[in-house]
Structure 1
C-alpha cells in the first residue's frame, strides 16, 4: 500500500496526532480530524498535509458525523477506509480511580466512548482502530460496565473486533507505555490481527515482549538529540535539591532507611513510584505523563526535566515534528498521545486486510 494511494482516514480525539502519524506512516491519509484543544488543533494543522479542510475544533458531542465525512471530502454514500481515535477516559486511568466521584461513574468524559461508537455506526468505515487506557479492561465497578458497553455497541454497529493491551516498548518505542487497542472490521470481512511484539525485556518486574530483541533504551533514543536548555527544566522547590544524588533509574526510595540511606528523608512507599524518578539510560523510559506534578518523573539522568526534543524522541515523533503551545501544553499533547511507531504497527496490520 503506497503512500500515494493510501486509504482515507478520519480521526476523532486527534490530540497532537500520534495515532494519526502512525496511521499515515502505514499508508493511510488522514483527511479529517476532530479535536477541541486549540493548541493540539494547530499542531495537527502544522504537521498533516492530507487534511482536506481545517481540523474541526469542537467537542465531538457537538459534531455530526456528516460534517466529519464532508470535511474529509467524502460525498453522499462514500465511506472512509479507516476510523481512528483515542477517547480521553480519565475515569478509567490509574490516576482517575483516586477520585470518588469518578469512581461512582459520574465523569462526563465516560460518554466519549459512546461518541466514538456513534461515528462508527454512522460513518461505516471499512475498518477502525480505537485506543485507550489499559485500566478500561480492569474487572472493577468503574471499568467493567463501561468496557462491556463499548464492546456491545461495536457489535451492534455491525463490527467484529479483537482487542489487546500492547506495551509500546515491545514494539520498538523507547518508553514503557501499556495501552488498550481495539481493532475491527464489518462482520463477515477478513479480520486483521494485532501485531506481535518485535522487542522485549522486563517491565514491572516481569518479562514482556520478544526476548530475542532487547527494548530500545532511553540512552539509545536520546543519542545525538539537539536541544537547548529550557527555562523550566531546573527542579527547585521543597525536594528539587534531592534529585542530583539519586542514581539513574532510581526514585525517592533512594532516601529511605530501607535503602540504607544514612539520613532518610522519606518513609518507605509513601509516594508515587514516579516521585523524583530518574531515567535509566539502559532501559526504556517509564510512562511519560500529560500533567506531571513538580516532582513527578521521569527526569533526565543529568538531574533536570526532560526537554521537548527529548520527549519527542521517547515517543518516536520525528525531530521535525512541530508542537504548538506553551511548555505545559506541549507536555500535555505529548503525554496524552499514542507513540506513532506503536500506532504504525497496529495500522499496518489493519492495512493488510483492506
Structure 2
C-alpha cells in the first residue's frame, strides 16, 4: 500500500506497526549498532544505508538511490532522539534543553530528507515535550515545512496531538506526541481513542509468558519490593501510606519501587532505569526484555537477542507497535493508499497487534512487613517541602 523511509528506527517498533498496516519499509536510518543488528536479524530486506546518521543521510541519500523519483515515496516516519525533550531530563541539573541540545539537531536532517523525497506523508512519534512547550521542536518543524511548501508548492502542515498509548489498546500508559503532515493538503484525521474506558491490562499480555531467565532485583532497596503492594510504589511506606514510615511523602521520584498491577496497564517502561526504578514485575523483580516487549505490543516473532541492558534500552525507546499500526491505518485511510478492496479489508478489521483480553485476573498478593534490616530506619520523615518540577524545591529548601 505504500513505501516508508524510516528515520531513527531503533528496534523497529514504529516500522513493525506500519508493516501491519500494509506499509512497506524500504530503508532504515539508524545510528545505534545494536538496533541495526536487530533490524538486520528480523527484516533482512530493510536496507540500512550509510552510517545510520540522519544528518549524513540528508546530505547523501537521494530518492534515486532507493529506486524512486522525488514525490513517489508515501511516508517518512520516525521519532528523533527524545532525551532533550523528556520529562526525565527535569531531574538533571541542567533540566530540559530542547532544540538547544546537540542531539536535537537531527530534526533539521529529517526536514532535509523530507525536502529531498517530498513524501506524501510525514509521521513523527515522540515524547509529549517534543511537539509542545517552549523548548519543543514544533516551531522548527513548522518553519521547515513552510519553507518546503514555498520552494516546492506543497501543502505540508503538521497536525499534532498528545495521546496515551493505553487509550488504543497498548497495555501501558505511555504519553506520546503524534504529528502527521500530508503533502497535498489532505485533511489529517488523528485516531480517536478506542480503549480509554476499558484499557488492556498487564495480565492480558504476561499471563502465559514463562521466562527461564528472570532478572534479579539489585540495589540497596531491592528487598523492600515484597513490602510494596501491586500497583503501588514507595508512597506505601510513608506517613500517608498504609505501611510503616520509611520514606518522606513525595521525596522520591514516582517510579521508585513502582510495581505492576495485574489488573491495570503498566506504567511507562523506561529505557535506562536505575536499580530501584520501576515498573517492577509483581514477582518483585525487574521485567525481562521479552516481558517488556509484550507490554509494548511487539509480536513474539520479533527477536531482540542482546544482553539485558541493551535489550531493555532498545525496548524502552521503542514506539509501541500497536500504536504505530493504528497510526498507519489512519494514514492509509486518509491518503487512500492501495487498492480499494484491500484497504477496506484492512480498515474494516481489528488491529492485528491488539492483545486478547483474558477473562480472569488473579488476585493481588498482599504486601509483607518490611524486612528487619530496614527497621532501624523506620520513623517520622519530613515530606517534600512543596510543589514543583523535579528536585528544585528540595534544593531550595536545603539552601535555605
Q: Distance in 2 between matches of 1:23 and 1:97?
A: 32
- Is 1:22–1:347's contact at 8 Å kept on the other side of the alignment? yes
Corresponding residue of 1:109? 103
What is the TM-score with the length of structure 1 in the denominator?
0.87
Structure 1: stretches of 5+ with no match in the other structure: 1-5, 201-210
Q: Could you report, residue by residue, the CA deviation over 1:263-303 in whole angstroms, capped at 9, with x for unpaired residues?
A: x2111101111000000111000000000111000000111
Which of 117, 126, 151 in structure 2 is aligned with 1:123?
Answer: 117
Q: Does 1:255 align with 2:240?
A: no
The secondary structure found in structure 1 opposite 2:182 is: strand
Which of 184, 202, 220 in structure 2 is aligned with 1:218?
Answer: 202
Q: Does 1:98 align with 2:91?
A: yes
- Give 1:138 shift: 4.1
- Is 1:226–1:309's contact at 8 Å kept on the other side of the alignment? no
- Is 2:70–2:116's contact at 8 Å kept on the other side of the alignment? no
- Give 1:68 shift: 5.8
The secondary structure found in structure 2 opposite 1:196 is: coil
Q: Distance in 1 between matches of 2:216 and 2:87?
A: 27
Matching of residues 141-152 of structure 1 within 5 Å = 142-143=135-136, 146-152=137-143
Q: Distance in 2 between matches of 1:9 and 1:128?
A: 10
Q: Could you report, residue by residue, the CA deviation over 1:110-160 in whole angstroms, capped at 9, with x for unpaired residues?
A: 2122221111111100111111110224433x23xx322222212332212
Change (3 A) 1:302 1:173: same
Corresponding residue of 1:205? none
Q: Distance in 1 between matches of 2:72 and 2:95?
A: 36
Q: Distance in 2 between matches of 1:55 and 1:280?
A: 42
Q: Distance in 2 between matches of 1:92 and 1:107?
A: 9
Q: Distance in 2 between matches of 1:321 and 1:50?
A: 15
- Is 1:276–1:299's contact at 8 Å kept on the other side of the alignment? yes
The secondary structure found in structure 2 opposite 1:83 is: strand
- Is 1:80–1:124's contact at 8 Å kept on the other side of the alignment? yes
- Is 2:18–2:325's contact at 8 Å kept on the other side of the alignment? yes
- Give 1:64 shift: 3.4
Q: Does 1:44 align with 2:39?
A: yes
- Is 1:26–1:348's contact at 8 Å kept on the other side of the alignment? yes
Q: Distance in 2 between matches of 1:110 and 1:136?
A: 10
Structure 2: stretches of 5+ with no match in the other structure: 150-155, 336-400
Corresponding residue of 2:58? 64
Q: Distance in 2 between matches of 1:9 and 1:96?
A: 31
Question: How many residues get paired?
Answer: 328
Corresponding residue of 1:302? 283
Moved more, 19-28 or 114-123: 114-123
Q: Distance in 1 between matches of 2:239 and 2:141?
A: 47
- Give 1:100 shift: 4.9
Corresponding residue of 2:172? 175
Corresponding residue of 1:196? 192
Corresponding residue of 2:226? 244
Larger CA Rg, structure 1 vs 2: 2
Q: Could you report, residue by residue, the CA deviation over 1:33-57 in whole angstroms, capped at 9, with x for unpaired residues?
A: 1101001001111222542x34544
C-alpha RMSD of matched pairs (Å): 1.8
Q: Could you report, residue by residue, the CA deviation over 1:169-199 in whole angstroms, capped at 9, with x for unpaired residues?
A: 00010000010111111143x2231111110
Moved more, 128-137 or 33-42: 128-137
Q: Distance in 2 between matches of 1:300 and 1:128?
A: 37
- Is 1:22–1:342's contact at 8 Å kept on the other side of the alignment? yes
Which of 316, 324, 327 in structure 2 is aligned with 1:343?
Answer: 324
Q: Distance in 2 between matches of 1:274 and 1:17?
A: 26
- Is 1:33–1:56's contact at 8 Å kept on the other side of the alignment? no
Q: Does 1:20 align with 2:8?
A: no
Q: Does 1:83 align with 2:64?
A: no
